[in-house]
Amino acid sequence: MSGLRRTFPELPRWTFEVDEVSAGVFHVRGVDQAGRSVEATGTDPDALLDDCRQSAAQIQAREGEQ
């Protein structure tokens, strides 16, 4: 899995990318249109993606964005 890009309806300004950086080790990075980012590294890409989505949602909530 390399460079898998994902978007989600609840986070329309964010794009997330999942990369396998080593055998069984994944790095997930989310970036919004304003250049803010969230990232996580570990062995479970789905859990990492969920963590990044939650962090992005918290950033949006702090900024009062929808």
What is the tens place of the pLDDT at every residue in 20-50? Answer: 999 999 999 999 999 999 999 999 999 999 9
Stated pTM of the model: 0.88
Give CA–CA dist 64/2, Å, rounded: 33
Of residues 6 and 66, more confidence is placed in 6
Give CA–CA dist 24/44, Å, rounded: 8
Cα dist from 4 to 30, 57, 59, 63, 66, whole Å: 12, 20, 23, 27, 25
Rg (CA), the chain: 12
> According to the model, what pLDDT value does residue 58 have?
96
> According to the model, what pLDDT value does residue 2 have?
53
What is the tens place of the pLDDT at every residue in 47-62? Answer: 999 999 999 999 999 9
